[in-house]
Every structure is written in C-alpha cells, then in structure tokens.
Structure 1
Amino acid sequence: MFGLIGHLTSLDHAQSVARDLGYPEYADQGLEFWCMAPPQIVDEITVTSITGKTIQGKYVESCFLPEMLAQQRMKAATRKIINAMAHAQKHGIDITALGGFSSIIFENFNLEKMPQVRNVELDFSKFTTGNTHTAYVICRQVEQASAQLGIDLSQATVAVCGATGDIGSAVCRWLDSQLDVADLLLVARNSERLQSLQDELGRGKVLPLEEALPLADIVVWVASMPKGVEIQAETLKETCLMIDGGYPKNLGTKLQRPGVYVLNGGIVEHSLDIDWRIMSIVNMDVPSRQMFACFAEAMLLEFEGWHTNFSWGRNQITVEAMQKIGDVSQKHGFVPLLLGI
C-alpha cells in the first residue's frame, strides 16, 4: 500500500476543505487549533495502471499550513510532518510520498535526527520526497512544451530559478546532459552552492534573478518567491515559456501577458481515472487524473514493489535515477501536463 502526505495552501483553504470533507469541528477554527490538530487519513485511493495492475493507497492530511512558517511556528510545523509520517507508518503503509512543504521542512529542519515519535520508531526507508519524478517531469515539460511553442532548444536560453535546490539541481543536470540547450542560467540565493553547481556542470552562467529573466526563452521556477520580489511580465521575452514548479502555483495569475505561457510544472496526468477525492480540493483541472508528480512517485514505487526511499536527501538526484523513474512512469500510464493550446 502507498501513502501520500499532503497539506493545504492556507488557513482559509483548510477551513473550506474541512467543511467539504465532513470535519465541521475543524471548519471554523483558527491557526492555533490547526497547530494542535492531529494528522488524519481523509481519503482511500485506488489506482489502476495501463498494464492492468491495481494498487491501493491512503491520503494523510498533515494539518500543516504555510502560515505556521510565516508566523515562526517552527515547532508546530516540524511536529506536523513527523506526526503525519508516524501516522502513515502505524497504518501499515509501505511507501509514502512527502508532498508540498513536507519534504522541504523535513530536510531544512533535519528531522531525520528525530526518529522517535511517541511509541513509533520511524523507518525512513518507507518514505520518499518524490523529487526525482518531479524533476524528470519538469524536464519533459521543458522538452515537450517548448516544441508546442516552436522554441528550438538548441538555440534557447533556459533559466533555472532555485537551481541549487534538490529539484533545481536535478533539472540542471538533465538539461546539461540530455537536452541540447544553448545557454543555461543558474539563479539561486546561496552563492557558494551556485559555484559548486556550476563547477559540477562545467557550464552555466550565474546571474541574479532580475538579469536572468529578460534573457530567458524558458524559465523553470522551482524556488520560493522572495519577499518583496515581483516578476514584471513586460521584462520577459516576447515568447517565453514559464514552468511553475512551486507550490502553491500562482505565477499564472501574476504573469498575464500575450506571449508568456505559464505551465503548471511537476504535474502529471494518468491515462485512466483514479478513484479518489483529494485532487479536487487542490484545484486540479482534471482531478480524476491529474496530480503532483511527487505523489505519482509513491504510486510508481508501489506498482513496481520498490518499497524504498527512492528520493532522499539534498542534491542526491542523478540523471540515471530520473531516467529509471521516468521509464516506469511511462510504463504505468503517466504523462507530463502540457500547454492547452
């Protein structure tokens, strides 16, 4: 059995979803209540591969909210993630994906040093960040959506914003070795990590965001938006593909200009309908089939019987691992979301 650990995008969103899912005791509560709320299994999932194999899963709502980070409630945020992991493990789930901020919090706060959750000793081999599949899907979106727009990658400049993160660095490795990209721009806040990535790749120009964006034919956004930073659509190229790999995805509402095409990055669509409710509450266009690629990674690991932390640690993703998960993604009927043009 596979599991998915997720969270909602805001307090307002959480209150609305709680009401829809039949949890009235959560629906009118403020942030203090959500800081104390325990994890809940709120959905049972059935997925069938195009090979004919069927698997079962559970969705674990962590009750984490981004406001917890914004208001410096770090203890509450970290407790939410490890409690959700313990909840999944107690319910006999073999492999669970950490979705959204879950994996970021786990890595940034080094929660691997906190394996004991009451009477549960966490077995980290039962969890995956899903970042390898996400990185693979974003790279395929670069390749396929650029073709939709007539952008020739051999002549194109690609800016990766958040290049030193787990997903961003993996995307850079793939763009460097698998796609004939003319120029690669590396954008991130940590100059030391940028230099290390540039040395590893043997290429790429390190530029600040405001200099990189006007030069890019394609922008892969896999970073959090720094406070006070606004992307001005008029500074982008006449034809620009923007792949929004963040969560929540909001670049599409901010960059509304003819010639700027915003694609929800790291989203896959399954070839067959999935029996679940959860994707409808995170506003997928086709909730019976579309999902975050990190969640799909847990499904793929369950389909293949690979009950291991396929994606784990920071900047450990290899091109070989991306190809491996990509091959089984295609095998079981998952395809990258593309532009609806």
Structure 2
Amino acid sequence: MFGLIGHSSSFEEARRKAGALGYDEFAAGDMDVWCSAPPQLLETVSVTSLTGKTIQGVYIDSCFVPEMLSRFKTATRKVQNAMELAQKSGIAITALGGFTSIIFENFDLSKFQQIRSTTLEWERFTTGNTHTAWVICRQVETNAPHLGIDLSTAKVAVVGATGDIGSGVCRWLSQRTGVGELLLVARQRQRLLDLQSELGGGRILPLEDALAEANVVVWVASLPQTLTIDRERLQHPCLMIDGGYPKNLDTKAAGDGVHVLKGGVVEFFNDIDWQMMEVAEMENPKRQMFACFAEAMLLEFEGWHTNFSWGRNNISVESMEQIGNASLRHGFQPLGLEPVVPQPLAAAVA
C-alpha cells in the first residue's frame, strides 16, 4: 500500500475542506486549534496501472497550512506526526508532498527518528523529488520546441539550482539534454561554485540578469510574494516551468510571448476516483497530480519499497531515468502546454 502526505494550500482552504468533511470543530477553529490538530487519514483509493496492475493507497492530511511556516516547532511536529501515522497504518511507501518535504529537508528532520514510542523507518518514506526532477526536465525538452526554442543553443536558467530538485535538473540538462548554456541561480554562492565544478560548466548569475538572458526558466525555488518580474526584459518567446510551491509564477510573469507551465505535475492515463486533488487547483483533478505523489505510486507498482528520493543533492541522472521509465510504463505523462495524448495500452506495455 502507498501513502500520500499532503496539506491544504492555505488556512482558509483548510477550514473549508474541514467543513465539507464534517470536521466542524476544525472548520470553526482558529490557528491555535489547527496547530494542535493531529494528522487525519482522509481517503483511500485504488489505482490501476496502464499495465493492468492495481494498487491501494491512502491520503493523509498533515493538518499543516503554509501560515504555520514561521512556527518552527509546529511545522516540524506536523510532518513528524503525519509520518508516524503513515507508519502505524502499515503503509509500505509514503511520499511527502508540498511543504512537508521542504520542512523535512530544510529542518533536517532525519536527525529525529524517534517520535514518541515510534522509531520511524526511513525506507518507508520518499520525498518524490527524483520523479519531480525528471518530469520538469521532460517538460523542458517537450515544450520548448513547440515555442520555437532550440535547446541546443538556448540559455536555460535554473532558479534554485543548488536545491535537491534543482541540482538534479541541472545534471540532466547538462548531461542528457545538452542545452546551449546553463544559468545557475541560488542564494548561497559556495554551493553554486560547488555545483558549477561538479557540472564542469554553467554560468552563475544574479536572478535579474539570468531572467533577462534565459530562453527557458526552470523555477524550483519558493517564489517570494514581494518579487516583481519585468516582462519587458524577458526573452520572447520564453518558457517558464513553475516547479516551486505554491505555483504562482503565472501571476508574476505570464503574458504575450511568455508561457508559464505548472512544473512537476503529471497526468495519468485514466480517471482516479479520489477527492484529494480537488484542492490542489489542478485543471483535471481526476487525472493530474504532483509528481512527488506519483513517485509513491510508482514505487508501489514496481515493488520498490525504499526511500528512492532522500536527502539533498543525491539525485542522479541514472535514478531519474529509472523512475522516468517506470512513470511512462504505468501511464503517467508530464503536463504540457498542449493536452496530454493518452497512450494506448499495447504501445505502453511493449
């Protein structure tokens, strides 16, 4: 069985969802009530692969909301409690979705394996970042040509290049795609220098300069609310992959000649009878989901019950290719600017 740990996109959204599910105490509660709320196993689901294999899974709401990010102890406790619930529920592999994986990595929660009487078994959990990185790279490779962008000569900026997903994206684009030039953007210069040395190339630039030069921008860092983007300085055409969370780059940059695509989102070949994606602002919530969630499904389909994605800067090109092949085999396709064309069963199995 697979598990998905997620959360609502805002406090108000969480309260609305609680009301719809009959949790009246939480629907009417203030932030203090929500800070003390335990995780909830809200939904069970069956998913059938393009190969015909069927698996079962659950969705656990951590009862975390982004407004809690400033509360260190609350945020970390929410993630740890949700992981404990997943393990106690006997789930073989669980993906950390949204801010839960970011909190886990940024606050280095791997140092805290003991949660009350439970010793967390790390092999039961994955961040899903390897599949997310592969999906983003495929979104670049598939959609840039539709806009007349030749990747062999294009400048591709990766914002958040030294993060777990960002570094994986850089490795793939450098080694497999062969883009014209990588523009590396991140806050910590030493990490940028280390990544540049590992890649054997790439140019380190401030954000504004990189945005002005790039034909493609892969955004895998959180987007500051105060950030403004001068659309006039952007290249036209320009493809922007919004791989951060929450996905709000379109409100900052989308316009004539600037195409923003939700990064790290996949579409399944068939409808899934669930409600969990309704609150994630997916255009087709019965089929579309975050790639990190899909990674847990893929690991269950394949019987790879291990923490496939774990730690920072551990994503290899080989692991991206491995999870990417599994993704296509079981019926997932990266979200594109053009509608996903369903893949026939015979072709996928072959």
* Band the TM-score falls in, shorter-chain normalisation: over 0.9
**TM-score by structure 2 length?**
0.95
**Residue 150 (structure 1) shift:** 1.8
2:29 counterpart residue number: 29
- Aligned equivalents of 2:122 and 2:236: distance in 1? 46
Letter of the structure 2 residue corresponding to residue 193 of structure 1? R
2:222·2:246 contact (CA, 8 Å) conserved in 1?
no
Alignment of 1:15-94 (within 5 A): 15-69=15-69, 72-94=70-92
Q: Mark the CA change 1:192 to 1:226 in structure 2 (over 3 Å): closer, same or farther.
A: farther
- Aligned equivalents of 1:97 and 1:78: distance in 2? 16
- Aligned equivalents of 1:22 and 1:283: distance in 2? 22
- Aligned equivalents of 1:203 and 1:242: distance in 2? 22
2:253 counterpart residue number: 255
- Aligned equivalents of 1:250 and 1:28: distance in 2? 28
Residue deviations 1:115-170 (CA, integer Å, cap 9, x gap) = 12122111011000000000000000000011221211012110000000000000
2:345 counterpart residue number: none
Residue deviations 1:24-58 (CA, integer Å, cap 9, x gap) = 22112221111100000111111110100000000
- Aligned equivalents of 1:230 and 1:140: distance in 2? 27
Alignment of 1:1-341 (within 5 A): 1-69=1-69, 72-226=70-224, 228-340=226-338
Letter of the structure 2 residue corresponding to residue 47 of structure 1? V
1:158·1:220 contact (CA, 8 Å) conserved in 2?
yes
SS of structure 1 residue aligned to 2:241: strand
Q: Which moved more, 1:169-178 or 1:221-230?
A: 221-230
**Residue 282 (structure 1) shift:** 1.2
- Aligned equivalents of 1:155 and 1:204: distance in 2? 14
Residue deviations 1:280-333 (CA, integer Å, cap 9, x gap) = 121111111000000000000000000000000000000000000001001000
- Aligned equivalents of 1:283 and 1:332: distance in 2? 24
**Residue 227 (structure 1) shift:** 5.9
**Residue 248 (structure 1) shift:** 1.1
Letter of the structure 2 residue corresponding to residue 194 of structure 1? L
- Aligned equivalents of 2:323 and 2:217: distance in 1? 24
2:156·2:218 contact (CA, 8 Å) conserved in 1?
yes
- Aligned equivalents of 2:216 and 2:50: distance in 1? 32
1:170·1:315 contact (CA, 8 Å) conserved in 2?
yes
SS of structure 2 residue aligned to 1:33: helix
Q: Which moved more, 1:306-315 or 1:217-226?
A: 217-226
- Aligned equivalents of 1:20 and 1:261: distance in 2? 35
Residue deviations 1:214-244 (CA, integer Å, cap 9, x gap) = 1000000000124632222222112110000
Q: Which moved more, 1:27-36 or 1:259-268?
A: 27-36
**TM-score by structure 1 length?**
0.97
Letter of the structure 2 residue corresponding to residue 15 of structure 1? R
2:6·2:98 contact (CA, 8 Å) conserved in 1?
yes
- Aligned equivalents of 1:26 and 1:232: distance in 2? 41
Q: Calculate the aligned-residue CA RMSD, in Å.
A: 1.1
2:223·2:249 contact (CA, 8 Å) conserved in 1?
no
Instruction: Give 5+ residue unaligned stretches, structure 2.
Output: 340-350
Same amino acid, percent of matched pairs: 63
Q: Which moved more, 1:216-225 or 1:104-113?
A: 104-113
Instruction: Give 5+ residue unaligned stretches, structure 1.
Output: none
Aligned length: 339
1:11·1:30 contact (CA, 8 Å) conserved in 2?
no
- Aligned equivalents of 1:39 and 1:153: distance in 2? 44
SS of structure 2 residue aligned to 1:9: coil
- Aligned equivalents of 2:332 and 2:279: distance in 1? 21
**Residue 179 (structure 1) shift:** 0.7
SS of structure 2 residue aligned to 1:153: coil
Letter of the structure 2 residue corresponding to residue 169 of structure 1? S
Letter of the structure 2 residue corresponding to residue 46 of structure 1? S
